[in-house]
Amino acid sequence: MELCDMPAWKLKELIRKGDISPEDILDSVFERIEEVERDLNSYITILKEEAYNQAKEIKARLQKGEDLPLGGIPIAIKDILCTKGIETTCASKILKGFYPPYDATVVERVKRAGAIIIGKTNLDEFAMGSSTENSAFGPTRNPWDRERVPGGSSGGSAAAVAAGETILALGSDTGGSVRQPAAFCGIVGLKPTYGLVSRYGLIAYASSLDQIGPMTKDVRDCALLLQVIAGKDEKDSTSLKVDLPNYLEACRHHDLSGIKIGIPREYISESLDPSVAEVMENSKRVFEKLGATVKEISLPHTEYALPTYYIIAPAEASSNLARYDGVQYGLRVKGKSLRDMYLETRTKGFGDEVKRRIMIGTYVLSAGYYDAFYLKALKVRRLVKADFDEAFKEVDYILTPTSPTPAFKLGEKIEDPILMYLSDVFTVPVNLAGICAISINGGFSKENLPIGIQLIGRALDEFGLLKIASAFETETELQGCRPFGR
Amino acid sequence: MQAFWEVSLLELKPVIGLEIHCQLLTKTKLFCSCPTDYVGREPNSIVCPVCLGLPGSLPVLNKEALKLALRTALALNCEILSKTRFHRKNYFYPDLPKAYQISQYDIPLGINGYLELNGKRIGIRRVHMEEDAGKLVHPTKTGRIEGAEYSLVDFNRCGVPLIEIVTEPDLSSPEEAKTFVMELRSLVQHIGVSDGNMEEGSLRCDANISISVNGKRGVKTEIKNMNSFRAIERALAYEIKRQTEIILSGGEVVQETRHWDDSKGITTSLRGKEEAHDYRYFPEPDLLPLIIDRELVEEIRRTMPELPKDRRERWKRDYGLGDYEVSVLSSSKALGDLFDACVREIGKPKEVSNWLQVEFLRIADECKLRIEESYFVIPYLKEVIELLEKGVVNNQVAKSVFEEAVKTRREPLDIVKAKGLEQVSDETAIRDIVKSVLSENQDAVQSYLSGKEKAFNFLLGQVMRATKGKANPSVVRKVLEEELKSLS
Amino acid sequence: MRVTIKDVKHIMKLAYLDLKGEEEEKMLKHFSRILEYFAKLQELDTANIEPLSHVIEESTPLREDEVKKGLSQRDVLSMAPEEEGGYVKVPKIVE
């Protein structure tokens, strides 16, 4: 197996033993990028020269005996996270030429941990989308099948991790944007509890739902990266003060006896793709084999979660994206007057889906519609959250498919927004409730497309999620499956 | 005298409510750690990702701003709500970098308060916190936006903490509105939450005004851009006249926002009800709700500085000062502070009050002295009052010595000694001078003796002049009376 | 609830977007479809439900009032599309 297809924890060991150097990993990763990036388009910005400079620095720090949890490990950053002095576009024309004067807290943390930033990955513009087709820099393609989408919005990060174009990646998840692409690309993606990871420097889509999450080749890497990025940040008022457990510990215990897992009946409808239904059946058996009890539960407001999400998220987005007006940074389309400049800049700068969501969000907050839409959605949000509270009285974890289908074809859903939105139907409720969930590979379809399963946990029970995910992964040995290099 | 709008068969009454914004005296901005002292700074030099609203930045609430806001709400007798929250107020303008202002909406910090104005309670509907916007510069001759080919943005003021104070429509005349704002300014200055400087914009006032006809509420207009106390009074008087004329001519007042043009002395329509902003308020997701710590509220209540009304009462009660004196001394917090400091040092509140109001204010005005920087006068004043009491100098000399002391920063006693200004009370010496004055002014003497009392004062003045003002006036008076008597 | 082209125009004005012709038509079509989808929520009786705007039930953290170094004027101006004399320049505001 080539270095670029190995998980970080293994590479760390090889570096520690002196078998390889950080540069060797970079060589392998950039060789792969050279090979596949033209087809995949995972990256918006590649930082090859900077990466090798960083590698030198990290080597020196390692030699001094510094304990660097991610020392020398390449990481790709979704281009929605601010990186000081490095163009940060959100895959939007409107941020073309925006070089943030500061680093996002998570970027600071991975740098401090010794990770090497090798590039900024593609996404749906401002994270609005489920296929990475809505990018001003062209779509990213799925490394398992280039006719298909990698999922979205963190499709660039997912494709890069799966294809060996990076070792680790960071994504952001507002309604499934880490988990769904992880599922489509056969990797691990975690949506942490709202408040566990600082949002400072994450360019906001929907502030009450956004969370940054690790996207990795296996569960152990996920634990490793979460350990680095989690924890209170004074710069984020919504960041929680928590005593962090040692997440790597979670990957050592694989006995699940006594653990109760629920499968919500609302998630297993006839509309589920047969290959997904089959993976769910198999997964259930695996968990039972591992000692867990699996039972059917109910989350009665499931069908209301998606419309609720598509009111709340655009509402917040319409406000969050109002600042892109051509005044201070990024794109300015000149106009005769201020009003013209605003209109021209925003109309030319934003893509279709972003405009659609800004319009919807503006509408649901506007005079006369606030109560009927926005306020109603906030109330239903409480019902959705209450469903989970109830369920967690009965079971410890909830098992669902990550998405109703495996990766779909490019262009398949782009013309019908609702069809596209349905791709997030199983991931969105977790964001509304502010709890945590992980997507891991549960198997493959007949077309050899990975199919993700989602495990949902109580707020701040990332440790437990990692534990059962790790047990599943060890049992099934599915995470080793890579589109290339096997 | 009745104002013109009161002369009518219809009973027309102005109904005025005010919205006042005060900048809070914190070191840093409301949601970030940038300094707040933007006056005189280079443009765009005290900013950070948060107050610039850069993508990805997030707000964190300033504890001191909360304390000052709570102090204001408590001083205005407001009920403090146990849980409040912030909202986003969405609108586009180049001085608003996030395109929304973080403000408070449905649950403000304080509600249902009041401020007493000459015994009348003016209701305070709400007190809330919000962030300020930046400043625009228009490169035209007048500095006004009309006719500007382009504009320039300075973000330094973005995020400076403000409190907004909204009154009930309890004010009934322009003068009362002005007095209210002055009283409120005095209050915020006294409790140390704002410097209340209208010229620099750290206190801003908008008004809602309507005319009620026979007790029926009229349509209101909102008046903006009143940048001085005088502007408040003039703008409201103008608007009352305008609305009254519309009503009396059978027309209808239009609900709208109007702009006060101070140079032309008129209000003009800024935008109508139709164009009213739809601010699309919604709860700020980047801040959690704010649960008000009861202990903090009690601590702020316990440590509340003396309020202007309490101070005025104290001066009347403990010092026996009259209404007029008190009103002069409380015209600014700085003067009141200086007065209190003088009394602490010197005692004799009545004399001190008199000296400050008459002599000190005149000299300070003449020499452009800032009251806050005038504490050096205290020992001078103390000495002058002592010299006067001991009879070393007379009243006139004391005043000129005080003035010279303040201007030259010399000890009053030094001045007296150097210039030989000690009062002459020796009767024999004075009698000699009186005699010579009388012999030199025979006309005046004759006129006095023929019954013209006024001539006495003339002669008195001549004697004082002859002594270069140093003579003890009561001794002069006595001797002069005796000498004139002997002539009759 | 039916949306009309008039609604779309009104919302475009609020949001400072300017779609014309076909694009405007397409927006109306998608807008209608999405709003129909939202109608599902009206099935639920939420009269006695408290709206949930924040999932974290704590008080917002407070920061000490201490000055920290921010950005320089140069940082601000280097991001700005147009500048003049230390200010960020914008086109004329009053048309």
Residues B104 and B231 in one domain: yes
Q: Contacts of residue A304 in chain C, CB cutoff 8 Å?
A: 40-41, 43-44
Task: Give the total number of structural domains in chain B.
Answer: 3
- C-alpha dihedral over A101, A104, A110, A114, to 10 degrees? 10
Residue A68 lies inside a defined structural domain of this protein = yes
As a whole number of angstroms, the distance between CA A26 and CA A56 comes to 11
Return the DSSP state at B358: I
Among B366, B400, B419, the domain boundary falls at B419
CB–CB of B92 and A206 under 8 A? no
Residue type, B207: A
Instruction: Return the axis-axis angle of helices A22-40 and A48-63, rounded to nearest 10°.
Output: 160
A485 confidence band (pLDDT: 50, 70, 90): low
Q: Contacts of residue B92 in chain A, CB cutoff 8 Å?
A: 322, 325, 342
Residue C27 lies inside a defined structural domain of this protein = yes
What is the radius of gyration, based on Cα positions, of chain B? 30
CB–CB of A201 and B288 under 8 A? no
Q: Which residue of A has its CA nearest to B148?
A: A337
A480 confidence band (pLDDT: 50, 70, 90): confident
Task: Give the total number of structural domains in chain A.
Answer: 1
CB–CB of C19 and A327 under 8 A? no
For residue B478, what is the domain's CATH number?
1.10.10.410
Whether residue B129 lies within 8 A of chain C, CB to CB, comes out as: no
SS3 content of chain B, % helix, strand, coil (to 5): 40, 20, 40
For residue C18, what is the domain's CATH number?
1.10.20
Q: Which residue of C has its CA nearest to B86?
A: C60
Instruction: Provide the shortest C-alpha distance from residue C7 to chain B (in Å).
Output: 14
Model confidence at B321: pLDDT above 70: yes
Whether residue A274 lies within 8 A of chain B, CB to CB, comes out as: no
Q: Among the residues of B109-173, which ranges form H helices?
A: none
* Residues facing B216 on adjacent strands: B213
Work out the average pLDDT over B199-213. Answer: 94
Core vs surface per residue A61-82: b (16+ CB within 10 A) or e: ebeeeeebbbbbbbbbbbbbbb
- Contact in structure between A361 and A137 (CB atoms under 8 Å): no
pLDDT of residue B421: 80
If 0-12 CB within 10 Å is exposed, 13-18 middle and 19+ buried, where does residue B488 land? exposed
Work out the average pLDDT over B286-292. Answer: 97
Complex confidence, ipTM: 0.97
Residue A147 lies inside a defined structural domain of this protein = yes
* Residues facing B87 on adjacent strands: B103, B283
**Neighbouring residues of B426: CB distance < 8 A, sequence distance ≥ 6:** none
Quick one: which of A431, A400, A202, A422 has its CA closest to A294? A400
Tokens of C90: 């914008």
Q: Contacts of residue A85 in chain C, CB cutoff 8 Å?
A: none
Instruction: Provide the shortest C-alpha distance from residue B214 to chain A (in Å).
Output: 33
Whether residue B290 lies within 8 A of chain C, CB to CB, comes out as: yes
Residue C21 lies inside a defined structural domain of this protein = yes
Domain extent, residue B37, equals: 4-298
**Distance of CA C44 to CAs A312, C36, C41, Å?**
17, 15, 6
Is the preceding peptide bond at A470 cis, omega within 30 degrees of 0? no
Residues B342 and B384 in one domain: yes
As a whole number of angstroms, the distance between CA A25 and CA A10 comes to 12
| SS3 letters across chain A | CCHHHCCHHHHHHHHHCCCCCHHHHHHHHHHHHHHHHHHHCCEEEECHHHHHHHHHHHHHHHHCCCCCCCCCCEEEEECCECECCECCCCCCHHHCCCCCCCCCHHHHHHHHCCCEEEEEECCCHHHCCCCCCCCCCCCCCECCECCECCCCCCHHHHHHHHHCCCCEEEEEECCCCCHHHHHHHCCEEEECCCCCECCCCECCCCCCCCEEEEEECCHHHHHHHHHHHECCCCCCCCCCCCCCCCHHHHHHCCCCCCCEEEEEHHHCCCCCCHHHHHHHHHHHHHHHHCCCEEEEECCCCHHHHHHHHHHHHHHHHHHHHHHCCCCCCCCCCCCCCHHHHHHHHHHHHCCHHHHHHHHHHHHHHCCCCHHHHHHHHHHHHHHHHHHHHHHHHHCCEEEEECCCCCCCECCCCCCCHHHHHHHHCCCHHHHHHCCEEEEEEEEECCCCCEEEEEEEECCCCHHHHHHHHHHHHHHHCCCCCCCCCC
pLDDT of residue B6: 54
% of chain C beyond a pLDDT of 90: 94
Of C27, C33, C95, the CB nearest to A337: C95
- Contact in structure between A193 and A459 (CB atoms under 8 Å): yes
As a whole number of angstroms, the distance between CA B75 and CA B69 comes to 10
Q: Contacts of residue B52 in chain A, CB cutoff 8 Å?
A: 328
Residues 56-75, chain B: which have Cβ within 8 Å of A?
56-61
Q: Which residue of A has its CA nearest to C23?
A: A352
- C-alpha dihedral over B37, B40, B46, B51, to 10 degrees? 70
Residue C13 lies inside a defined structural domain of this protein = yes
Among B419, B439, B469, the domain boundary falls at B419
Q: Classify B393 as helix, strand or coil.
A: coil
Residue A104 lies inside a defined structural domain of this protein = yes
Sign of dihedral through CA atoms C11, C14, C20, C22?
Answer: negative
Which residue has 């009920």 as its token pair? B79
- C-alpha dihedral over A284, A286, A287, A293, to 10 degrees? 70
Question: B82 φ, ψ to 5°?
Answer: -75, -25
Instruction: Provide the shortest C-alpha distance from residue A336 to chain C (in Å).
Output: 7
Q: Contacts of residue C61 in chain B, CB cutoff 8 Å?
A: 60-61, 288
Quick one: which of A41, A190, A24, A144 has its CA closest to A482? A144
Model confidence at B2: pLDDT above 80: no
Domain extent, residue A226, equals: 3-261+393-476
CB–CB of A359 and C8 under 8 A? yes
Tokens of B363: 């000299």
B156 confidence band (pLDDT: 50, 70, 90): very high
For residue A18, what is the domain's CATH number?
3.90.1300.10
If 0-12 CB within 10 Å is exposed, 13-18 middle and 19+ buried, where does residue A347 land? middle
CB–CB of A370 and B94 under 8 A? no
pLDDT of residue A194: 98
Model confidence at A188: pLDDT above 90: yes
B9 confidence band (pLDDT: 50, 70, 90): low
Of B97, B278, B285, the CB nearest to A328: B97
**Neighbouring residues of A88: CB distance < 8 A, sequence distance ≥ 6:** A79, A80, A81, A82, A95, A98, A99, A100, A120, A203, B55
What is the radius of gyration, based on Cα positions, of chain A? 21
Instruction: Provide the shortest C-alpha distance from residue B299 to chain A (in Å).
Output: 25
Model confidence at B78: pLDDT above 80: yes
CB–CB of C67 and B155 under 8 A? no
CA atoms within 13 A of residue B380's CA, in its CB half-sphere: 26
pLDDT of residue B76: 98
Whether residue C95 lies within 8 A of chain B, CB to CB, comes out as: no
* Residues facing A450 on adjacent strands: A444
Whether residue B282 lies within 8 A of chain A, CB to CB, comes out as: yes
Of B55, B151, B282, the CB nearest to A365: B282
Residue C17 lies inside a defined structural domain of this protein = yes
Whether residue A82 lies within 8 A of chain C, CB to CB, comes out as: no
pLDDT of residue B427: 85
Quick one: which of B139, A352, B290, A302 has its CA closest to C87? B139
Q: Contacts of residue C31 in chain A, CB cutoff 8 Å?
A: 356, 359-360, 363
Residues B326 and B283 in one domain: no
B419 confidence band (pLDDT: 50, 70, 90): confident
Residue A215 lies inside a defined structural domain of this protein = yes
Residues B370 and B401 in one domain: yes
**All chains having 3 or more CB pairs closer than 8 angstroms to chain C:** A, B
Work out the average pLDDT over B351-358. Answer: 94
CB–CB of A234 and C41 under 8 A? no
CB–CB of A237 and B49 under 8 A? no
As a whole number of angstroms, the distance between CA A186 and CA A471 comes to 17
Residues B195 and B107 in one domain: yes
Residue C70 lies inside a defined structural domain of this protein = no
- Contact in structure between A228 and A113 (CB atoms under 8 Å): yes
Whether residue C53 lies within 8 A of chain B, CB to CB, comes out as: yes
As a whole number of angstroms, the distance between CA A352 and CA A416 comes to 12
Tokens of A75: 């990481």
**Distance of CA A200 to CAs A81, A171, A417, Å?**
9, 14, 30
Instruction: Provide the shortest C-alpha distance from residue B261 to chain C (in Å).
Output: 17
Residue A454 lies inside a defined structural domain of this protein = yes
**Distance of CA A93 to CAs A96, A134, A350, C81, Å?**
5, 11, 7, 14
Most A CBs within 10 Å, among C17, C24, C63, C92, to test the A interface: C17
Which residue has 């059946």 as its token pair? A281
CB–CB of A104 and B56 under 8 A? yes
Q: Which residue of C has its CA nearest to B292?
A: C59
Among B283, B298, B313, the domain boundary falls at B298
Work out the average pLDDT over B379-391. Answer: 92
**All chains having 3 or more CB pairs closer than 8 angstroms to chain B:** A, C
What is the tens place of the pLDDT at every residue in B79-116?
999 999 999 999 999 999 999 999 999 999 999 999 99
A304 confidence band (pLDDT: 50, 70, 90): very high
CB–CB of A82 and B92 under 8 A? no
% of chain B beyond a pLDDT of 70: 98
Instruction: Provide the shortest C-alpha distance from residue C52 to chain B (in Å).
Output: 10
Edge to edge, what strands does the sheet with B87-90 contain? B100-103, B87-90, B282-283
CB–CB of B146 and C70 under 8 A? no
Q: How many helices (H) and strands (E) does chain C have?
A: 3, 3
CB–CB of B45 and C16 under 8 A? no
Residues B367 and B290 in one domain: no
Quick one: which of B263, B265, B97, B236 has its CA closest to B175? B236
Residues 89-118, chain B: which have Cβ within 8 Å of A?
90, 92, 94, 97-100
Q: Contacts of residue B152 in chain C, CB cutoff 8 Å?
A: 84-85, 87-90
Task: Give the total number of structural domains in chain C.
Answer: 1
Residue C94 lies inside a defined structural domain of this protein = no
What is the tens place of the pLDDT at every residue in A129-139?
999 999 999 99
What is the tens place of the pLDDT at every residue in A36-84?
999 999 999 999 999 999 999 999 999 999 999 999 999 999 999 999 9
As a whole number of angstroms, the distance between CA B400 and CA B381 comes to 12
Q: Which residue of B has its CA nearest to C84?
A: B152
**A297-301, A324-328, B326-330, C68-72: lowest mean pLDDT where?**
B326-330
Q: Which residue of C has its CA nearest to B25?
A: C65
Whether residue A99 lies within 8 A of chain C, CB to CB, comes out as: yes
Whether residue C85 lies within 8 A of chain B, CB to CB, comes out as: yes
How crowded is residue B55: how many other Cβ atoms within 10 Å of its Cβ? 25
Residue type, B124: I
Residues B432 and B410 in one domain: no
Of C70, C84, C93, the CB nearest to B47: C70
pLDDT of residue B1: 47
**Cα A238 off chain centre by:** 19
Domain extent, residue C20, equals: 5-43
Q: Contacts of residue C35 in chain A, CB cutoff 8 Å?
A: 363
CA atoms within 13 A of residue A76's CA, in its CB half-sphere: 36
Residues 49-68, chain B: which have Cβ within 8 Å of C?
49, 51-52, 60-66
Q: Which residues of A are annotated as catalytic?
A: 78, 153, 177
CB–CB of A100 and B282 under 8 A? no
Model confidence at B4: pLDDT above 70: no
As a whole number of angstroms, the distance between CA B313 and CA B315 comes to 5
Residue A430 lies inside a defined structural domain of this protein = yes
